[in-house]
Amino acid sequence: MVEIRRRLIHISFGVLVILALSLLGTDRFEFAEGALLATFLVGLWIIDQKLKKRKLPIVDYMLGMFERPHSLPAYGAFWYGMGVLLLLSFIRNMSYVLAGIAILALGDGTSTLVGMNGTRRIFYNKKKTLEGTAAFFIVSSLASYPFLGSTGIVLSLLCSIAESIDWGVDDNFIIPLTCLLFYFISV
C-alpha cells in the first residue's frame, strides 16, 4: 500500500509542476526554479534532521505514510527534485521541460505500479519487468505527445530504455538526465 501512495504522490507532484509552469509561462522560469530550490533546501534540512534521529511529528507521519521501510528518508524525493531542477536549469524550451516532467511523473509512476505485478523480468536488470517498461513507454508517449508530438515518442523510448538499466543512480535523476541529453542532441 505504501508503494501505491508513493506513486500517487510521484504522479501528482509532476502534474502540479506541469500546471504551475504552464500557468507561469517561459518568462517565469526563475520563479519556478527558486520555488523548487527552496523546497529542495527544506527537504535537505529534513533529511539531515532524520539522519540525526530527531523527531519531527508531521514529517515522521508523512514518512510513515509514504516512505519505504528501511530506506534513506526522502531519497527518491531528493532525486526527483534534482531531476526537475536539472530540466528547469538547462532547458529553455518549455515544451521539452514539460515533456520531461510528464515522462518522469507519469511514465515512471505508472511503470512502478504496473511493474509490481509484472512477471517477465528484463534479462539485463532482474529488478525491472517488461510489463513495467512497456507501461513506462506507452504512458510516457501519451504524456509527452501533447508537448513534442512524435518527438515525444522517440524521447519516451529512450527514457524507457534508460530507466530499465541499473545505472546505480536513482531513476528519478536518470530520466531527466536522458531528457536533457536528448534535448542537447536534437536542438
- pLDDT digit string (tens) for 90-119? 998 999 999 999 999 999 999 999 998 999
Q: Which of 109, 111, 107, 105 is nearest to 84 (CA)?
A: 105
In this prediction, residue 107 carries a pLDDT of: 97
Name every residue whose Cβ is closer than 8 Å to that of residue 114 and which is 6 or more positions away in sequence. 129, 131, 132, 134, 135
pLDDT of residue 57: 81
Strand (E) or helix (H) holding 126: strand 125-129
- Given this model, what pLDDT does residue 36 score? 74
Q: How many residues does the chain have?
A: 187
Write down the pTM of the prediction: 0.86
Residue 166 confidence (pLDDT): 95
Residues of the chain below pLDDT 50: none
Give φ, ψ of 128 to 5 degrees: -115, 155
Q: In this predicted structure, what is the pLDDT of residue 154? A: 98
What pLDDT is recorded for position 177?
Answer: 97
CA dihedral 153, 157, 159, 160 (to 10 degrees): 130
C-alpha to C-alpha distances, 95 to 28, 43, 71, 169, nearest whole angstrom: 14, 27, 34, 26
Q: What is the pLDDT of residue 125?
A: 94
Enclosing H/E stretch for 129: strand 125-129
